[in-house]
Structure 1
Amino acid sequence: MYKPPNTKLRLSPQDEYTHAPEAARNYNESMYFNAFDTAKGVGLWLRIGNRVNEGYAEMSCCVYLPGGKVGFMFARPMITHNDAMDAGGMRFEVMEPFKRLRVKYEGELLIMDEPAAMADPSAAFKRYQKRPSTIYLEFEGVSPMHGGEIVNLDDTPIDLDPENSVYRGHTEQHMAVSGTVTVDGTKFKFENGTGYRDKSWGPRHWHNFSWYKWLPVAFDRDFGMLFSVKDPTAAALPISGNVLSNGEYEPVIDGRIWTEYDDDYHPKLLTAWITTTKKTYIVEGKVLSTVPLRHRKAGGDASSYTRITESMTEYTCEGRTVLGMTEYCDIIQDGVPLSVRQGRA
């Protein structure tokens, strides 16, 4: 995680809970979880982003089902405080800081035969039917915590420009997952699930991201990786992450990602070369299903927008295979991602 000069990272168990909102109108506090049962061919991710100064939360739920269907829901429920991660039928609870968390969702999911239809959300919500869903999952941390709040050396908050910020604090962790996921009457029991989580707080505009490629993968309780590649023209630390090996994180010091895209520039295949302080890992990924999500800048050019592709991916590395996430965020201009235009796909 990048730290500006003369700053440090500070992490407290209290950071697992919500923070007092800053005055910035675009203050955001968000938590994200993903979970996969590779044997059953099921995966999911969930997110709550409280934007209390704007009066609403962002609630997202996405379940990748066997056979290629995807259940998806997004809402902006109204909120009046930042005291909890609880919005739109979704709730995140901290049972033990850095160790155990609980995720619940009760609500509907839009069941899509063609997940790429979410590129036009209005049309997708008219085309597909909603079905009841319940999610109850327990997350157990199997790695050290990564990240914290960036502060000055004297522990005072750093100065941020809210209009150009994406977070003040950020944490991540590899997880083991158990529980149940029920979609339209079909129940899936996660027994040896793997997953990942992150949390951010501070002022954020989605369009402040240029582009990034984010690979959070947990192969089992003892092996996984977080690998991130960002726009080198906009990021002070374009390559970052960790490899989890036997309970410890090996810091990433170099790496790259090769991607094969389809006609819509959704990822199909990828190879990541991830170099840590100990060795280079080669990770192969085959995308099984992609949900494209867009964020338009208010008053901006209609032909340019931020797109995030959320892809359930079959990963292999050193003889192990598991389901995990591939998240690519990019500025799309006239249908082409900025990272592709830069030749850094």
Structure 2
Amino acid sequence: TVVDWQTVTWGPAFTDVAYFLGCALPIERRREHYDTLLAAYTEALGPAAGVTVDDVREGVRRQSFFGVLMSIVSPMLVERTERGDQMFMAMIARHCQHVLDTDALAILPPPTRPEPLRPGAEDEDSHPPGDEPLWSESWYFDFADLRQDVGGWIRLGLIPNQGHAWINALLCGPGIPTVAVLDFEVALPDDHTRVRTHDAEVRMEVVEPLRTFLVTVRAQGQAYDDPAALLRGEANRPVAVDFDLTWSTDGVPYQYRVSPRYEIPCRVTGSVTADGRTIELARVQGQRDHSWAPRDWWAMDWVWSALHLDDGTHLHGVDIHIPGMPPLAVGYLQQPGQPLVELEQIATNATFAPDGLPLTAQLGFGDLAVDITLRGHAPVLLSSPDGRLSRFPRAWGTVETPDGRTGVGWIEWNQNQS
């Protein structure tokens, strides 16, 4: 006799009965003895329970879906074997037939799409860290100005359980050096909106939550005629860098369902000075995002993108690959005058040069295909505390859809090298 109390929890009592009847018996035997078993269970409860056999029958019917759920979740959590495959296939076949035999599908509400999640104003601030060693909180900002052929991105990342922060601020475009401010050993600031080191000062201000965000960076950076040198961890020519930019929301703020993170399409205004050249930006396309969760850059790969079409359409997607798990995709399609559409299918395809820089990129946002012509490269090399490396190519470019629409945006890859 085997008694298995692996999962003990509060819940509908008839879940146990539904799970046993749906799984433990072959389908024909369950059908043959179904009424007898329900009656035996009801009798065992006793008169004090105040439950009739019809109550039990309806309760089992409603809980029959639990077995289907377990048939899907359980195989994802255990090592795969030939015998295990046979067991799980028998399991899901029996539970699904139980649902059909009891006509449980009839009690389900009509299928609907849940409303997209929105971040709250309070989410703009920092968040209490978790206990995980690589729990981190990041604020990202980017912009791309096709008229002046320049793009840039900024990141402030707090890694409190490692006792330090990251500052990244990069500027790039065709025909100009990639300018980079990189410091991965910043002392953890008391106030994330005012971060200062010997070579850099970063200031962030929420002017209006979820609407207007101001970022300034004044720092000593380095200029790279070959941006691939950043992926080799090389130093180059020192230059002064000054970002003074405002991100104004130009779409719908979107919060992920799978992780505490949100993305906001924006228009960017202000000025950038690097290597003695000042560039004035006037409502150019951009994106900002904010996340707070455990993140191991050296244990997964992903492709992230935020694209903006000239007709006002905004596209965002992230295609995540974690070893041992199916790919995970999150994204949205925002079209003018229409509700935001959440995307669960993001296709990515790219080619890379031997030096690690991307050459070509194509993306699929559901049924919408997008070609990206890369124009500026601003990559980063990420090194973990235990020495693992991850290449982090980031590039901006022009985009085009099969129906002739055009636009601009950024794409990034996280590529583990171990």
TM > 0.5: yes
| 1:143 to 2:251 alignment | yes
Structure 1 gap segments, 5+ residues each: 151-167, 334-345
Structure 2 residue aligned with 1:197? 288
Structure 2 residue aligned with 1:188? 279
Question: In the aligned structure 2, how far is the partner of 1:64 from the partner of 1:141?
Answer: 23
Corresponding residue to 2:186 among 77, 85, 88: 77
Structure 1 residue aligned with 2:119? 11
Question: In the aligned structure 2, how far is the partner of 1:235 from the partner of 1:90?
Answer: 37
Structure 2 gap segments, 5+ residues each: 1-72, 74-115
The percentage of counterpart residues that share the same residue type is: 21
Corresponding residue to 1:231 among 304, 321, 325: 321
Question: 57-66 or 234-243, which moves further after superposition?
Answer: 234-243
Question: In the aligned structure 1, how far is the partner of 2:141 from the partner of 2:311?
Answer: 16
Q: Is the 8 A contact 1:52 1:81 kept in 2?
A: no
Counterparts in 2 of 1:147 and 1:205: CA distance versus 1, 3 Å: same
Larger-gyration structure (1/2): 2
Give runs of ≥4 in structure 1 deviating > 4 Å. Answer: 232-237
Higher relative contact order (CA 8 A, sep 6+): 1
Offset at residue 54 of structure 1 (A):
2.9
**1:148-176 residue CA offsets vs partner (Å, 9 max, x unmatched):** 686xxxxxxxxxxxxxxxxx511111111
Amino acid at match of 1:79: L
Secondary structure of 2:187 counterpart: coil
**1:42-92 residue CA offsets vs partner (Å, 9 max, x unmatched):** 100000012234332100011014514210011132134255363441222
| 1:106 to 2:214 alignment | no
| 1:29 to 2:137 alignment | yes
Q: Is the 8 A contact 2:311 2:405 kept in 1?
A: no
Counterparts in 2 of 1:25 and 1:259: CA distance versus 1, 3 Å: closer
| 1:51 to 2:165 alignment | no
Q: After superposition, where does 1:153-164 map in structure 2 within 5 Å?
A: none
Question: In the aligned structure 2, how far is the partner of 1:268 from the partner of 1:249?
Answer: 31
Amino acid at match of 1:182: T
Structure 1 residue aligned with 2:396? 312
Q: Is the 8 A contact 1:288 1:311 kept in 2?
A: yes
Secondary structure of 2:298 counterpart: helix
Counterparts in 2 of 1:290 and 1:185: CA distance versus 1, 3 Å: closer
Counterparts in 2 of 1:82 and 1:55: CA distance versus 1, 3 Å: farther
Structure 2 residue aligned with 1:240? 330
Structure 1 residue aligned with 2:268? 177
Counterparts in 2 of 1:52 and 1:254: CA distance versus 1, 3 Å: closer
Offset at residue 299 of structure 1 (A):
3.5
Amino acid at match of 2:321: D
Question: In the aligned structure 2, how far is the partner of 1:86 from the partner of 1:182?
Answer: 20
Q: How many aligned positions are there?
A: 298
Offset at residue 26 of structure 1 (A):
3.3
Offset at residue 274 of structure 1 (A):
1.8
Q: Is the 8 A contact 2:189 2:195 kept in 1?
A: no
Q: Is the 8 A contact 1:175 1:221 kept in 2?
A: no
- In terms of fraction of residues, the more helix-rich structure is 2
Offset at residue 129 of structure 1 (A):
1.3
Structure 2 residue aligned with 1:337? none
Question: In the aligned structure 2, how far is the partner of 1:95 from the partner of 1:38?
Answer: 27
Question: In the aligned structure 2, how far is the partner of 1:204 from the partner of 1:258?
Answer: 24
Counterparts in 2 of 1:231 and 1:36: CA distance versus 1, 3 Å: same
**1:211-250 residue CA offsets vs partner (Å, 9 max, x unmatched):** 1111111234821200222227555662221112115422
Question: In the aligned structure 1, how far is the partner of 2:336 from the partner of 2:159?
Answer: 37
Structure 1 residue aligned with 2:382? 295
**1:237-283 residue CA offsets vs partner (Å, 9 max, x unmatched):** 622211121154222243422222222343211222222xxxx2221
Secondary structure of 1:144 counterpart: coil
Question: In the aligned structure 2, how far is the partner of 1:25 from the partner of 1:238?
Answer: 23
Question: In the aligned structure 1, how far is the partner of 2:169 from the partner of 2:311?
Answer: 25
Amino acid at match of 1:316: E
Secondary structure of 1:117 counterpart: helix
**1:10-31 residue CA offsets vs partner (Å, 9 max, x unmatched):** 8321011112333444332210
- In terms of fraction of residues, the more strand-rich structure is 1
Question: In the aligned structure 2, how far is the partner of 1:53 from the partner of 1:239?
Answer: 28
Secondary structure of 1:288 counterpart: strand
| 1:213 to 2:325 alignment | no
Counterparts in 2 of 1:148 and 1:282: CA distance versus 1, 3 Å: closer
Secondary structure of 1:89 counterpart: strand
Amino acid at match of 1:286: T
Could you say what the CA RMSD is over the residues aligned between the two structures, in angstroms? Answer: 2.5
Amino acid at match of 2:306: P
| 1:117 to 2:201 alignment | no
Provide TM-score, normalisation by structure 2: 0.65
Counterparts in 2 of 1:26 and 1:257: CA distance versus 1, 3 Å: closer
Counterparts in 2 of 1:145 and 1:10: CA distance versus 1, 3 Å: closer
Offset at residue 328 of structure 1 (A):
0.8
Secondary structure of 2:175 counterpart: coil
